A and B are shown apart, each in its own frame.
Chain A
Amino acid sequence: MAVTTTYLGVPLYRPKVAFFDFTSCEGCQLQVVNNEANLLDFLSLVEVVNFREAMTEKSNDYEIAFVEGSVTREDEVRRLQEIRKNAKILVAFGSCACFGGVNQLKNRFNDLDWVKKEVYGDCPVDTKEAMPLEKYVKVDLHIYGCPVKKEEVEKIVLNVALGKAVNLPKYPVCMECKANGNICLFDIGEPCLGPITRAGCNSWCTNNRFGCWGCRGPAEDANVAQWQKIMRQHNFSRERMLDRLECFGGFDHLIER
């Protein structure tokens, strides 16, 4: 693999990267290998040395770690800390890693033992509250989404390779939704988290008339209090409002209760 990729005559640094998964559906990693048309180009920019879902070889010699999933077990904490030690850059990859994701819904129950009993019956598993990576280790970059948007991942990796700044959208989904010519879902009586959720998904769900559930977490400066007021004005129940806000875990610290 001695071939050096160049861009306008400048050789590009090809970092060694690894993909890891914790408690998750592994769908975010699947997004990376899903794009067959671009996969070889993607692999020419980075050297993948560890990717359980996609390859057999394993190595602990990597610079960038993409970590999918939330942390729900004690052994996961130790494994994550090991990854942190090995990696120069640790990327929280997808909503579970960033916010706890759908997994953190179990944290809503007061009695975690009851939850375990419901799910595992008589074969108990040693689990605890689902937490984002940041609860245990320092995270250098977040890539949001459930699942992550492969085009966004490719763009980020490319910008890293080219030495360009990685700029994720800071504004809400509404911006992209309106640019896509959609009619507001509130107009047809559907709730939507678009006004406070971070954009970058190209309003994937609302383009298909499906209200936003906030998988990418809050936009910067998200006006959650105003959104809650809007939900009340549109006669949506408190339960429906909290269902939206709590689904992926990104809004937890912003909810007015």
Chain B
Amino acid sequence: MIFKTIKRDELANLYAKLAQHLIVGPVRKGLDKNNKAMYDFDRVDKFADLCLDYDTTKHSAKKYFLPFTETLCTFKIFKDSWHKKVDYNINEPIVMFGLHPCDINAFNKLDKVLLEGVYPTPYYAAKRKNIFIIGVDCQPQPWCFCRSMDTDTVLHGFDLFLTDLGDRYFIEINTATAYEILQQLDIQDPAPQDHQLFLQKTNEKADKFIASVDTTDLTKILDMEFQSPVWQEWGDRCLSCGTCANVCPTCYCYGVEEEVDLDLKNARKNKHSYSCNLIDFAEVAGGHNFRPESHTRLKYRYYHKHRGFVEAFEESLCVGCGRCGQACLADINVPEVIASVRQEKI
């Protein structure tokens, strides 16, 4: 990895260099009922709109890689035959400006399933390869537990990463594309004190976490506590609304539906994101539902994230961004659920 620094003012020039492409980043979305600013990832039209000091976004950046609905292929229907056309739906490269380490780690985890699996997903791959990612460091919020999930820093999966050192940013350069773009800008080699400052920032951040999840022996504990009464308690609260999965940066479950136009001349196969919390997630042809009760569905979401994925990939599918707990109207959040399963007082 190559390290450089860039003056705070020069960042606007980096933005300008990239602005010929679609830039997506954290932007303000008004105030909540407590007059606190809300942010979300959206198209950025001018540098001033880009809020690199955002706390979190309401939704993850997932939709740019895994759209909530996506047409996988279209069919032209003839008298007694059809013609199929496949489109991976990537019309232009996208620059993602300002992803936090948790969200970049989320894509690294998705890569393991969607790129490195036996059947890579071309729709995801096409987008992943065409998105330029600029990471930015963050300040831990009360709901963040990424440090517990080992996702508070990120080593790969981005093009360049910015850490705020006050009047300048420390840059980690990870790709040739990023290096070439930066060559056209006024950048400096980091001085020895910049290295020190960078480490100091990292250490300061580590001390600021409030929420945490104890992952020690968690796969075993989840096996042991499969019948624990706490699942029923959380299930009684759950609205089965799928909000947690939709705001989650790593939930990738989906359904596929065929749609025929009313004139019977065209048809398409649509993919739409789904959630294991939804009532009919485990309903099969013929109508049998393997998980008709809310608490079994909620439980399996936790088992996929914190047990199944760990057994398969030696890491959790949760990045500790805390969005699910923040978005859940019933206040169901990962640290409290896991602590209750571990029979810890919270």
Interface positions of A (Cβ within 8 A of B): 5-9, 38, 41-42, 45, 154-155, 158, 162, 170-172, 174-175, 178-181, 183-184, 186-189, 194-196, 219-221, 223, 226-227, 230
Per the bound structure, the CA–CA distance linking A172 and B278 in Å amounts to: 8
Q: Are B240 and A172 in contact (CB under 8 A)?
A: yes
Q: Contacts A38-B262, A172-B241, A230-B330 given: A183-B40 contact, CB under 8 Å?
A: yes
CB distance from A220 to the nearest CB of B (A): 5
Q: What are the residues of chain A within 8 A of B82 when measuring CB–CB?
A: 8
Interface contact tally, CB-CB below 8 A: 116
Convert B16-33 into 0s and 1s, putting 1 for each residue whose CB lies closer than 8 angstroms to a CB of A: 000000000000011111
- CB-based nearest A residue for B63: A181
**Which chain B positions have C-beta within 8 A of A158?**
260, 262
**Interface residues, chain B, with chain A CB atoms under 8 Å away:** 29-33, 38, 40, 58-59, 63, 68-69, 77, 79-82, 236-243, 246-247, 259-264, 272-273, 275, 278-280, 292, 294, 327, 329-330
Q: Other CB < 8 Å A-B pairs besides A162-B260, A183-B58, 12 of them?
A: A8-B77, A45-B262, A171-B279, A179-B272, A181-B63, A184-B58, A189-B32, A189-B33, A219-B241, A220-B280, A223-B236, A223-B237
**10 tightest Cβ-Cβ pairs between the two chains A and B:** A9-B80, A189-B33, A178-B246, A179-B68, A174-B241, A175-B242, A41-B262, A171-B278, A41-B263, A172-B241
Contacts of B262 in A (CB 8 A): 38, 41-42, 45, 154, 158
Q: Are B58 and A175 in contact (CB under 8 A)?
A: no
Chain A residue contacts of B79, Cβ below 8 A:
6, 9
Is B330 in contact with A170, judged by CB distance below 8 angstroms?
no
- B residues less than 8 Å from A162 (CB atoms): 260
Question: In the bound complex, how far is the Cα of B236 from the Cα of A226, in angstroms?
Answer: 8
Residues of A contacting B32 in the complex (Cβ-Cβ under 8 angstroms) = 187-189
Q: Give the shortest distance, in Å, between A72 (CB) and chain B (any CB).
A: 33
Q: Are B30 and A188 in contact (CB under 8 A)?
A: yes
- List chain A residues, Cβ under 8 A from B33: 187-189
Find chain B residues with CB under 8 A from A194 CB: 241
Which residue of B30, B239, B327 contacts A226 across the interface (Cβ within 8 Å)? B239
With known contacts A171-B278, A189-B33, A178–B294 Cβ distance under 8 A: no
Q: Tell me the smallest distance from the CB of A211 to a CB of chain B, in Å.
A: 13
CA distance A174 to B244 in the complex (A): 10
Within 8 Å CB of A196, what residues of B?
A: 239
The docked-state distance in angstroms from the alpha carbon of A220 to that of B281 is: 12
Q: Which residues of B contact A183 (CB under 8 A)?
A: 29-30, 38, 40, 58
Cα(A47)–Cα(B56), bound, Å:
54
Which of B63, B262, B272, B330 has the most chain A CB atoms inside 10 A of its CB? B262
> Are the CB atoms of B241 and A230 closer together than 8 Å?
no
- Could you write out 23 A-B pairs with CB less than 8 Å apart? A7-B264, A8-B77, A8-B81, A8-B82, A9-B79, A41-B261, A41-B264, A171-B240, A171-B242, A172-B242, A174-B242, A178-B59, A178-B242, A179-B273, A183-B40, A187-B38, A187-B58, A195-B239, A223-B236, A223-B237, A223-B330, A226-B238, A226-B330
From the candidates B30, B58, B280, name the one contacting A170 in the complex (CB within 8 A): B280
